[in-house]
Amino acid sequence: MLLDGANATELERAHAQAGDLRNSDQGLWGTWALYDTPYAVKNVHRRYVDVPCDVISTNTWAVLAAAELDAGGPASSATTHWLDVARLGIALARQAIDEAGRTGDCAVAFSVNGDVDSAERRASLGLLLRALRDDPPDLLLLETMSLIREDFTYEAIEAALTSGIPVWLSFRRCRHGVCGVYGQHWGGPEGDLFGRAARRFEELGVSALLINCL
């Protein structure tokens, strides 16, 4: 099975109109493009579909951060609510798949930053899951998770599982333990904490466990 790659990096590389996403999107890591240049997002998806990748992840990694912005989106955009942006992310991925003639052959994974580290993020995740009920993606991908927080991590995963959508988790790990988004070792050794957590994830019903940011 072949998954797609980065969305924000490819947006910067292929679409000048998307701007310098990492420095200008208020911490949304490319999700801002759904507000300003949705056609560019669909083009990136289409390139991955044509590879051909088997799983296309939505450009929604930072959508929970979008929920925390007071304005909810740029004033020039007709789509201002972050939940509408989440739905748009799914629609664009599906359009790219359909236009390539790969409907039913390529899955849509709803990507979201899985580092839920506050009650506010947990509440936003709950709102998101309810919003996805009417038109769910093929799977939920909680990405780039770092520390395993007893008070939030398991609660967020269990909430995702109650949606009935298959759940995949990806963690930032290198051979020395937790790593940053550029693969640099970050934090002390974990011992067997991650191994025990992986077993618990399996028992909870998580469908796949992935490693990224190596």
pLDDT for 61-90, tens place per residue?
999 988 877 444 444 444 468 999 999 999
Average pLDDT value for the chain = 87
Please write the tens of the pLDDT for every residue from 139-194.
Answer: 999 999 988 888 899 999 999 999 999 999 999 888 778 887 777 888 766 778 88
Name 129's bridge partners.
none
CATH of domain 8-212: 3.20.20.330
CA distances from 16 to 13, 23, 49, 169 (A): 7, 14, 21, 31
Distances in Å between the alpha carbon of 10 and those of 6, 22, 96, 165, 187?
6, 12, 15, 27, 29
Three-state secondary structure readout of 53-121:
CCEEECCCCCHHHHCCCCCCCCCCCCCCCHHHHHHHHHHHHHHHHHHCCCCCCCEEEEEEECCCCCHHH
